[in-house]
């Protein structure tokens, strides 16, 4: 089986690497060619264009930054017409649920199958092959994708038909964003009160407030390590998708809307490429204080 992997950024690079280590033949394409060098050393075929990457591939995986980029790279007439009939497209990035359905319909019109399979677990999970995959797919398409997913994830959940994987991802990102905001506020509260924030975090990890966000991003905040695992601009994109979906279904989500506004301010301040845990920096600015003096 030949896999075309389109998009080798923060998440795509280690994911493509794990497929190579699992023994798959992988064609890779990325707009910035330097991000494919490490994969070439692992045995990947680096393609200069998306068309070259997909031409002989039975499976095409996209891990691109937005739906607009997907449409520029793959989901267009010029590219889809070059795919092998019956090929399986697996979109592993996060896009709006309705857009995933539209992409599936377009792929199907070219006799191609489609799975939306966004992931959770960040760069750490991508590197370790322990991602959670939230799949929107038919049973038969999910079965085809299973050997690939096994090389990338420790947990593969079939959410339902195409589009529902992206709905699950929206739910995931709402929880992540709100929790990052809550952890930022809690640590600032503790610091302002004169408590040892390292000890506070340790105590909270032993009770109901424990979460991966408190564990991993709380540590990032204390260490002031905002090297991106997931960039703030990507978090905002996901929150915008959630907001659009909520409005279409007459849902009021005040917590999500509040943190969406905060991420918009963070991005507008020029910090869009920092890790999404850098929301702390906005809250520090609003309060004219810092977590650590």
Catalytic residue IDs: 169
User: For residue 14, which of 157, 129, 183 has the smallest C-alpha distance?
Assistant: 129
Residues 6+ apart with CB under 8 A from 10: 123, 126, 228, 229, 230, 231
User: 135: which strand partners?
Assistant: 158
Burial of 19 (0-12, 13-18, 19+ CB in 10 A): buried
Residues 6+ apart with CB under 8 A from 153: 119, 121, 125, 129, 130, 131, 132, 133
User: 136: which strand partners?
Assistant: 116, 160
CA dist., res. 57 & res. 19, Å (int): 14
CA dist., res. 57 & res. 214, Å (int): 41
CA dist., res. 258 & res. 277, Å (int): 16
> Which secondary-structure segment (H or E) carries 68?
helix 67-73
Q: Taking the CA of residue 71 as centre, how many other CA atoms within 13 Å lie in the half-sphere pointing to its CB?
A: 9
Look at phi and psi of residue 47 and say left if phi exceeds 0, alpha if psi is from -120 to 50, else beta.
beta
- Residue linked to tokens 């075929």: 45
């Amino acid at each position: 089986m030949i896999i075309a992997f389109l998009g080798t950024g923060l998440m795509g690079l280690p994911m493509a690497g794990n497929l190579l280590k699992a023994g798959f033949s992988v064609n890779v394409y990325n707009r910035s060619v330097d991000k494919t060098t490490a994969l070439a050393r692992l045995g990947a075929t680096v393609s200069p264009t998306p068309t070259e990457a997909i031409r002989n591939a039975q499976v095409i995986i996209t891990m691109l930054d937005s739906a607009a980029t997907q449409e520029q790279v793959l989901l267009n007439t010029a590219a889809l017409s070059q795919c092998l009939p019956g090929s399986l497209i697996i979109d592993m990035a996060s896009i709006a649920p309705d857009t995933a359905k539209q992409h599936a319909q377009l792929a199907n019109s070219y006799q191609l199958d489609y799975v939306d399979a966004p992931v959770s677990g960040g760069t750490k999970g991508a590197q370790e092959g322990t991602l959670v995959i939230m799949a929107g797919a038919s049973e038969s398409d999910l079965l085809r994708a299973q050997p690939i997913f096994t090389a990338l994830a420790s947990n593969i959940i079939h959410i339902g038909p195409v589009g529902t994987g992206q709905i699950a991802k929206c739910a995931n990102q709402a929880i992540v964003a709100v929790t990052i905001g809550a952890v930022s506020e809690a640590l600032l509260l503790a610091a302002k009160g004169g408590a040892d924030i390292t000890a506070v975090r340790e105590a909270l990890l032993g009770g109901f407030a424990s979460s991966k966000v408190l564990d991993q991003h709380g540590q990032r905040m204390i260490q002031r390590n905002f090297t991106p695992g997931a960039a703030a601009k990507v978090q905002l994109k996901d929150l915008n998708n959630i907001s659009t979906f909520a409005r279409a279904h007459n849902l009021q989500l005040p917590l999500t809307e509040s943190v969406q506004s905060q991420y918009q301010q963070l991005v507008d301040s020029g910090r869009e490429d920092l890790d999404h845990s850098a929301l702390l920096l906005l809250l520090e600015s609003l309060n004219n204080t810092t977590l650590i003096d």
